[in-house]
Amino acid sequence: MRKILFIADPLIEFAIEKDSTLAMMDACQHAGHQVWHCHTHDIKSIESSIKAECLHIEVKRGGSDWFTPLQTKTKRLADFDAVVMRKDPPFDLAYVTATWFLSAASLEGAKVFNHPEALRNHSEKLALLEYLRFAPPTIISRDLADVKKFHEHYQDIIIKPLDGMGGMGVFRIKADGLNLASIVETLGDNGNKALMVQKFIPEIVDGDKRVLLIDGEPVPYSLARIPQGGEVRGNLAAGGKGVAQKLTQKEFDIAHEIGPQLAKRGLHLVGLDFIGGYLTEINVTSPTCFVEITNQTGHDVANQWLKSLEKKLN
């Protein structure tokens, strides 16, 4: 039996029917491990050690009261067998501060997944710069003139903020360029923030596919998040429909090329996003879609994740 701490959003906010972190917790308990939880703001340095006020819980399947609190205790992070960082974005100063604490805990012997240094070094948008050969035409700039020039060339583009999630702040600008300047000024805070701009990929109608990497190895099924009702965004949080599919050969090849590199850097769980065979984002904070893939294919993603984690702890 191992003690596994999940650093995540409040338990009462979990989306019970589809929460990947809950699926991970459930897999841990089913395997006989203890499940603990804390928030990022619970982490602190006291008595010359990185500690947190942690809640030991029992996970129960079904129903809105899906967990039973067992005990609350201030514990050293290094005393857990694994610390799983699952805090959702935004990637703000509070998040960065939490990773600094986790880096210090790592020096005390804590095993943190994903590794805090890797989390800081891999912006979920900017990490794509290393792999632009797999991406659609892309620029990242705060300069309106750059965006206008890109739009003039490609005519149909997508603009999104660097710190968004779940499709928040994603805009499509068609050939007429309607509201382009206003959107750039608003999203970019009048030039204070850089934006990601990509050529629009018509294959979005077939879905924005999430491919999960576990210790560098791809899960054999993706989740195609298909836009609904005239939306350009396929994100499930934006109303997209999730359909599990076998990986295409191109997705498999790209995943196998970059997966080991990311795993070597301490990124145990990664979510690659593909549209029409193009790599569009590299998600490292709290990749999801475990439940949808498992329910539709029978491939137990949470169990694959746990078996990989256990090997890391041996």
The pLDDT of 142-156, averaged and rounded, is 98
Q: Are residues 92 and 23 in the same domain?
A: yes
The pLDDT of 282-288, averaged and rounded, is 96
Q: 281 an active-site residue?
A: yes
Mean pLDDT of the chain: 94
Q: Are residues 230 and 255 in the same domain?
A: yes
> What confidence category does residue 167 fall into, taking pLDDT thresholds of 50, 70 and 90?
confident
Given 51, 209, 251, 283, which residue is catalytic?
A: 283
Given 87, 125, 199, 209, which residue is catalytic?
A: 125
Does the pLDDT at position 86 exceed 70? yes
Q: Are residues 70 and 87 in the same domain?
A: yes
Q: Give strand pairing partners of 254.
A: none
> What confidence category does residue 249 fall into, taking pLDDT thresholds of 50, 70 and 90?
very high
Q: Are residues 10 and 104 in the same domain?
A: yes
Residue 306 resides in a domain? no
Q: What is the pTM of this model?
A: 0.93
Given 51, 87, 160, 199, which residue is catalytic?
A: 160
Does the pLDDT at position 41 exceed 70? yes
Given 111, 208, 225, 251, which residue is catalytic?
A: 225
Q: 310 an active-site residue?
A: no
Domain count, the chain: 3
What is the rounded CA–CA span in Å between residue 125 and residue 59?
34
Q: 264 an active-site residue?
A: no
Residue 187 resides in a domain? yes
Q: 303 an active-site residue?
A: no
Q: 235 an active-site residue?
A: no
Given 26, 124, 208, 273, which residue is catalytic?
A: 273
- pLDDT tens per residue across span 168-207: 889 999 999 999 999 999 999 999 999 999 999 999 999 9
Given 19, 124, 215, 281, which residue is catalytic?
A: 281
Q: Are residues 108 and 170 in the same domain?
A: no
Q: 233 an active-site residue?
A: yes
Residue 243 resides in a domain? yes
Cα 201–chain centre separation: 22
Count of CB atoms within 10 A of residue 92's CB? 9
Q: Are residues 181 and 210 in the same domain?
A: no
Q: Are residues 238 and 275 in the same domain?
A: yes
Residue 223 resides in a domain? yes
Enclosing domain of residue 190: 137-200
Given 233, 235, 251, 292, which residue is catalytic?
A: 233
Residue 254 resides in a domain? yes
Q: Are residues 155 and 247 in the same domain?
A: no
Find the range with the poorest average confidence among 16-20, 58-62, 113-117, 283-287: 58-62
Q: Which of 116, 145, 162 is the last residue of a domain?
A: 116
Q: 314 an active-site residue?
A: no
Does the pLDDT at position 13 exceed 90? yes
The pLDDT of 39-62, averaged and rounded, is 95
Q: 76 an active-site residue?
A: no
> What confidence category does residue 227 fall into, taking pLDDT thresholds of 50, 70 and 90?
confident
Given 210, 215, 235, 251, which residue is catalytic?
A: 210
Q: Are residues 208 and 269 in the same domain?
A: yes
Q: Are residues 196 and 213 in the same domain?
A: no
Q: Are residues 72 and 106 in the same domain?
A: yes
Residue 220 resides in a domain? yes
Residue 129 resides in a domain? no
Residue 304 is predicted with a pLDDT of 98
Residue 311 resides in a domain? no
Integer Rg of the chain from CA: 20
